[in-house]
Structure 1
Amino acid sequence: MTESYGLRTINGQAAHELARELSFPRFPGSEGEARARRLLRERMEGLGYGMEEQPFRYDARRTEILRLTSPLLPFAVLSGLAFLSARAPLLSASAPLLSKWAPLLCWIAATALLILALSLLRWPWLETLFEGDRDSSANLIGRRPPDSFREKPGHRPAVYFVAHVDSKSQPLGIVARGLFFSALTLTSLAGWVLLGLRGFAPGAVGGGALAFMSFLLLIFGVPLSVNVNGNRSPGALDDAAGCSVLVELARILRARDDLPYEPVFAFTGAEEAGMVGASRLAERIARETDPSRCFFVNFDGPGAGRGLLALIHGFVRAENRSPILRSTRGSAVARAAREAASACGVPLHVVRLVPGAGVDGVPL
């Protein structure tokens, strides 16, 4: 099947066949992941691209432990503080001042823990958890040879087209994970509010309400805490489809000498281990090139549903109003994506990244 979008001719059948060929278990660091890289390298070199394999080492044990234990932390914190708050009246004889302020102190402790957790959920800090050499993977980078450019490479901005090679299996699908994560987050905030009411207005909230919130946190946290990774998924959609789209895009752009940018094709490794390959790629770009002249288009799960789905995450500063934060939905990148899709007649839907999910676009 061949479809024409504007000036670009896409061989959808070729992309589909390659995606099927890549659809076998490819857990980070496994022989399946290495086999997929070899296949992609062969295809890209057949198109005339120069390929560079960039190996890296990491240790995913700390992040895996954190991923499986953190869903139970809200339950442990709320139930523990609720227990201490309920025992405060017993101190009325020996420590009346502590008995009076114990509920408020519990809420302050919960607030401090919440602020600490939010401050640690930043990607530069999370990257340090992967330090080590227990596991290994590699990024595969493809560039056109210098004779494809009218001027020397590096004189124009680089656009990195990114897709991850590896795959993983989990008992919970991405939608279920998002629902449980959202429920856990909202229930945690509700418990924090109830603790605050108990501290500022003694008697307004009984122990039963906090016990019920703790029970809900346990119900929502346990499925996430047993959602272990495995190597059973063929990863056709996530992300053999993205890799096949990149190869087809590379075929189209190989003969284009009029591009205002330098196309670079990055097949990243260990995305399912915590976007490690994308992080290593970002570090390398920061060391060796000018990051301000590098742009990234991440393909993760193309072919799901109808049309294109643009995932966004985080916030950006609004134009001319630097203190004000607004969603990337209104950013220049999102607008450019809509305009390009509209010009090509391709349906585009811009949505937020599912809570609890991660893609290579986060570290990049």
Structure 2
Amino acid sequence: MTSEDASTAALLALTAKLSFPRRTGTPGNSRARDIIAGELRASGYEVVEEPFWYLPRRVQVPSLALATCSIWTTFGIFAVTWFSAMNQSWLLPFLGACLLFALFVQHSMPVRWRMRSTGDVSSPLPRGARWGTNIVARIGGSSPRDDSASFQLVLAAHHDSLSLAYPPALNIFIILCNTVGVLLCGTLAIVIGLVHALSGSVNPWSRLFVALSSLVACCTLVAKLLNTRSNNSPGAVDNATGCAVLLELARALKRNPDPLRFPETRLVFFDAEEAGLWGSCFHAARLDHWLRGGTKRHACFISIDEAGGKGPLVASGAFGFPVVTRPPHDPALDGFVESLLRAGARRGTTTWMPYPASDHAPFAAIGVPSTWISHACTVAHSPRDTMGEVSAAHMAAIFKALLGFVKAEKKEETWG
């Protein structure tokens, strides 16, 4: 058996060991943490558990604001554009502005709100808080508690799992329809109201269109609220495969302790990603504090998610509403992503797809060059996410690329 075959077999074995329901706060989640910590200790690493609390209710404010504005605007627009006299059209710009503002808040604020809505065991525990635990290990150096390095490469994967009532494709479709419906509804409401105020008349078809868009926004919002969560997904692809890649990477680097590209490389296994990116928000807040503690401190972040999916390779940058942006550049990180994408191009690669809902978002929000590496998976968040859906070849490709990136020649200190 070649070394590559042995690594592939080890990746599959680690994935199988973690393929069981692992929703945050359940016994399965604790069992997964014990397995990950045990594997790291068996490889010779010091492991630090990073417990944190989070407040899910506090960041529900943007969603509740959007829900309230969507329902209010839907009924208001129907009343003003369809049933009532047009002398009430002054309400339309007001309703549309409220709806667009609620949409902006929902898409722009959650990451920052989450970072302010977490804390560690040393801070007072607020009412309604829930607990999660990240796992941290350091490759090279002495201890994950040591913050003396000038540069940190953070390699991460979330270890929790979740099952949703809707299949992934339907869930994405509903979210997109809701966002587009709200955006059209708010914009058209403002335009129609202003046009009527200036000209005194509005095309009836435009009123029908805005009324239908408001109905779409409201119906998809209700559909989102009915998308219940449970703990019956084994989470093999999402994200036992990502955890397996990092665990096998730790083993490989311990067997061959070559010089690392970066002064410090940390492995972090996030909890509560499926509950709202809470583990990554907590760690990003701590990293932000570390970055502010020195003028020459820098960091770089890579999230491995669904490494063993059977779909095309995807690399995602940051996402901000209403403008799509890439996170700050790092030449080494950009080169790694581009080489990985070239290697996977024959499988139909998507490059730098803006995707907000994963662990790279909090790090991009604090100005850290970040990326999210994944293979598309059609069975994520469902009971069908089992070992039969895992692509060993895709896992091995990401593992090999990541190993080469971490072990490359040491990065030159070129920052001011």
Map Cα deviations across residues 26-69 of structure 1 (whole Å, 9 max, x no partner). 11121111110100011001111110001111232455686588
AA in 2 matched with 1:278: S
- Offset of residue 223 of structure 1: 1.9
Match of 1:228 in 2: 228
Question: Counterparts of 1:68 and 1:35 in 2: how far apart (Å)?
Answer: 34
Aligned to 2:340: 341
| Structure 1 vs Structure 2 CA RMSD | 3.4
CA distance in 2, matches of 1:172, 1:14: 32
After superposition, residues 105-144 of structure 1 pair within 5 angstroms as: 105-119=91-105, 121-122=108-109, 123-128=111-116, 132=126, 134-144=129-139
The alpha carbon displacement at 1:165 in A equals: 1.0
Answer yes or no: is 1:12 the counterpart of 2:11: no
* Aligned position for 2:326: 328
1:320 match = none
8 Å CA contact 2:100, 2:186 repeated in 1: no
Tell me if structure 2 keeps the 8 A contact 1:11–1:248.
yes
Aligned partner letter, 1:41: A
Matched, 1:183 2:177: yes
The structure whose residues are more often strand, as a share, is: 1
2:247 maps to 247
Answer with 1 or 2: which has the greater Rg. Answer: 1
Matching residue within 261, 267, 270 for 1:268: 270
**Are the structure 2 counterparts of residues 13 and 71 from structure 1 closer, same or farther at C-alpha, using a change threshold of 3 Å?**
farther
* Residue number in structure 2 paired with 1:103: 89
Q: 2:147, 2:132 → 1: CA distance?
A: 28
SS of alignment partner, residue 11 of structure 1? helix
Question: What displacement does 1:289 show?
Answer: 5.0
Could you say which residue in structure 2 is the equivalent of 1:319? none
- Distance change in 2, residues 1:164/1:86 (3 Å): same
Q: Which runs of 5+ in 2 are unaligned?
A: 120-125, 364-416
Cα distance, 1:232 vs structure 2: 0.9
Residues in 2 aligned to 1:211 and 1:272: alpha-carbon distance in whole angstroms? 34
Q: 1:110 to 1:315 in 2, by over 3 A?
A: closer
Structure 1 residues 13-162: aligned runs within 5 Å: 13-63=9-59, 70=66, 73-84=69-80, 89=85, 100=87, 102-119=88-105, 121-122=108-109, 123-128=111-116, 132=126, 134-144=129-139, 146=141, 154-162=148-156
Q: Aligned to 2:361, what secondary structure does the other structure show?
A: coil
2:282 matched residue in structure 1: 280
Distance 2:98 2:215 in 1: 22
Q: Is the Cα–Cα contact under 8 Å of residues 74 and 215 in structure 2 kept in the other structure?
A: no
- State the secondary structure of the residue aligned to 1:146: coil
Aligned residue number for residue 166 of structure 1: 160
Q: Is the 8 A contact 1:72 1:222 kept in 2?
A: no
The code of the aligned residue for 1:221 comes to L
Q: Report the Cα offset of residue 293 of structure 1.
A: 1.6
Find the residue that maps to 2:163 and give its secondary structure: coil
Range with greater deviation from structure 2 (262-271 or 281-290): 281-290
Q: Is the 8 A contact 2:77 2:214 kept in 1?
A: no
Partner of 2:315: 310
Deviation larger for 71-80 or 61-70: 61-70
Q: 1:65 to 1:231 in 2, by over 3 A?
A: farther
> Shift in Å at residue 146 of structure 1?
3.2
Q: What is the rounded CA distance, in whole Å, between the counterparts of 2:142 and 2:62 in structure 1?
A: 48
Q: Secondary structure at the match of 1:180?
A: helix
Moved more, 204-213 or 60-69: 60-69
Contact 1:242 1:302 (C-alpha < 8 Å) held by counterparts: yes
Letter in 1 for 2:42: G
How many Å apart are 1:194 and its aligned residue?
A: 3.2
Cα separation, 2, equivalents of 1:126 and 1:247: 28
Greater CA deviation, 123-132 or 165-174?
123-132
The aligned residue for residue 219 of structure 1 is 219
In 1: Cα distance, 2:269 partner to 2:239 partner: 10
Per-residue CA deviations over 1:332-356 (Å, capped at 9, x if unaligned) read 567423443268x4545324245xx
**For the Cα contact (< 8 Å) 2:318–2:326, is it kept in 1?**
yes
- Residue deviations 1:202-234, cap 9 Å, x none? 332365444433332333222211012111111
Q: Tell me what 2:357 maps to.
A: 358
Partner Cα distance (1:288, 1:313) in 2: 21
| CA distance, structure 1, for counterparts of residue 8 and residue 60 of structure 2 | 37
Separation in structure 1 between the aligned mates of residue 290 and residue 325 of structure 2, nearest angstrom: 31
Aligned partner of 1:92 in structure 2 is: none
Looking at structure 2, the residues matched to 64 and 169 of structure 1 have their Cα atoms a distance apart, in angstroms, of 20
Instruction: Give distance in 1, aligned partners of 2:307 and 2:3.
Output: 15
Contact 1:50–1:144 at 8 Å: present in 2 too?
no
TM-score by length of 1: 0.79
Give 1:183 shift.
Answer: 1.3
Q: Is the 8 A contact 1:142 1:265 kept in 2?
A: yes
Residue 165 of structure 1 contacts residue 267 of structure 1 at CA under 8 Å; is this kept in 2? yes
User: Aligned partners of 1:195, 1:285: CA distance in 2, in Å?
Assistant: 43
| SS of equivalent residue, structure 1 residue 55 | strand
- Distance in 1, matches of 2:65 and 2:228, equals 11
Please give the alpha-carbon distance, in whole angstroms, between the structure 1 residues aligned to 2:334 and 2:267: 24
